[in-house]
Amino acid sequence: MRKNVIITGSNRGIGRAMLEKFAANGYDVWACARRETEEFLSAIKNLSNDTGASITPIYFDLSDENEIRDGIKKILSEKKNIDVLINNAGVAYGGAFTMTPIKKMREIYEVNVFAQVNIMQLVARKMIRQNSGCIINMCSAAGIFANPGFLAYGSSKAALIWITKMAAKELGRYSIRVNGIAPSFTDTDMGRYNSEEKLKEHLQTMALPPRMLSPREVADAAFYIASDSAAFLTGQVLQLDGGGSA
Ligand SMILES: NC(=O)c1ccc[n+]([C@@H]2O[C@H](COP(=O)([O-])OP(=O)(O)OC[C@H]3O[C@@H](n4cnc5c(N)ncnc54)[C@H](OP(=O)(O)O)[C@@H]3O)[C@@H](O)[C@H]2O)c1
């Protein structure tokens, strides 16, 4: 029997790789994106034809609480089991400590922290009733290593790591697992946005032969965490950084 997964930010980057991985491997998907586009609709249609997965697009902006609530309501109204929630969508911002406006920090926290908690809360209530579920939060190596230039983004991901661990403790009694993935620079629009200098600096810290991570490798890690092979894994943040520290 097919399982069901919600993936936010599934229109591009890591989220798109997750959509492809889960659809091709036994999951029906609520593919969440900020807005409808022709490209996204046609990609979903092709993927659905190729894999046999049912893929339902759901649209909401993570900086708008009402849109989030309406989007998740639509999913819940289908009254299907929610096996997995992947909180993938997120936003980056680079800026020196003294040059980062608090207003900007609020905007980043709105998406990377408050929206993630909001979605987790709405979905966890359903998972509690099911007495099962798996939540995967896209954290970041930037939330573990306090590197310069990442005040807003790094601290928002550090908060998400704490939230992941705390939620795992509270939700464990309902057989809900909560884990995170903390990649380093991944080959997406966001990963490529970093300066050559930052990227070079980071690659030099790697234990493995240096390279950017591919979105598919992150999707593979999420698929493992969602699987029964990881049935005893909770409260963990899987670092995918080639043994580096960026
Ligand atoms: N790439 C990296 O190097 C890296 C490293 C560590 C962690 N991560 C984390 O991995 C996740 C995915 O990153 P990525 O590399 O795939 O980034 P990306 O290519 O920039 O894609 C970001 C995704 O998040 C969505 N998103 C951003 N703000 C949103 C909002 N307000 N409402 C709804 N959707 C929103 C984007 O939608 P739109 O297309 O509408 O903008 C897009 O689907 C993020 O949480 C990121 O922080 C990435």
Question: What tens-digit pLDDT sequence spans the chain (246 residues)?
Answer: 999 999 999 999 999 999 999 999 999 999 999 999 999 999 999 999 999 999 999 999 999 999 999 999 999 999 999 999 999 999 999 999 999 999 999 999 999 999 999 999 999 999 999 999 999 999 999 999 998 999 999 999 999 999 999 999 999 999 999 999 999 999 999 998 777 887 888 888 899 999 999 999 999 999 999 999 999 999 999 999 999 875
Going from the Cα of 112 to the center of ligand 1, the distance in angstroms, rounded, reads 10
Q: Does 245 fall in a domain?
A: no
User: Rounded to the nearest 10 degrees, how much is the dihedral formed by the CA atoms of 198, 199, 202, 203?
Assistant: -150
User: What is the number of domains present in the chain?
Assistant: 1
* Residue 30 included in any domain: yes
Ligand 1, atom 40: closest residue by C-alpha: 34
| 27, 93, 153, 224: the active-site residue | 153
Residue 210 placed within a domain: yes
- The DSSP string of 108-129 is HHIIIIIHHHHHHHHHHHHHHH
Considering the domain boundaries, does residue 246 fall inside one?
no
Residue type, 102: I
Note whether residue 146 is domain-resident. Answer: yes
Atom of ligand 1 nearest to the CA of 181: 7
Residue 143 maps to which CATH number?
3.40.50.720
Our answer to whether residue 27 is catalytic in this structure is no
Asked whether the beta carbons of 8 and 87 are under 8 A apart, the reply is: yes
Global pTM reads: 0.98
Q: What residues make up the domain containing 135?
A: 3-240
Which protein residue has the closest C-alpha to ligand 1 atom 36? 9
* 40 domain residue, yes or no: yes
Q: Is 96 exposed, middle or buried (0-12, 13-18, 19+ CB in 10 A)?
A: exposed
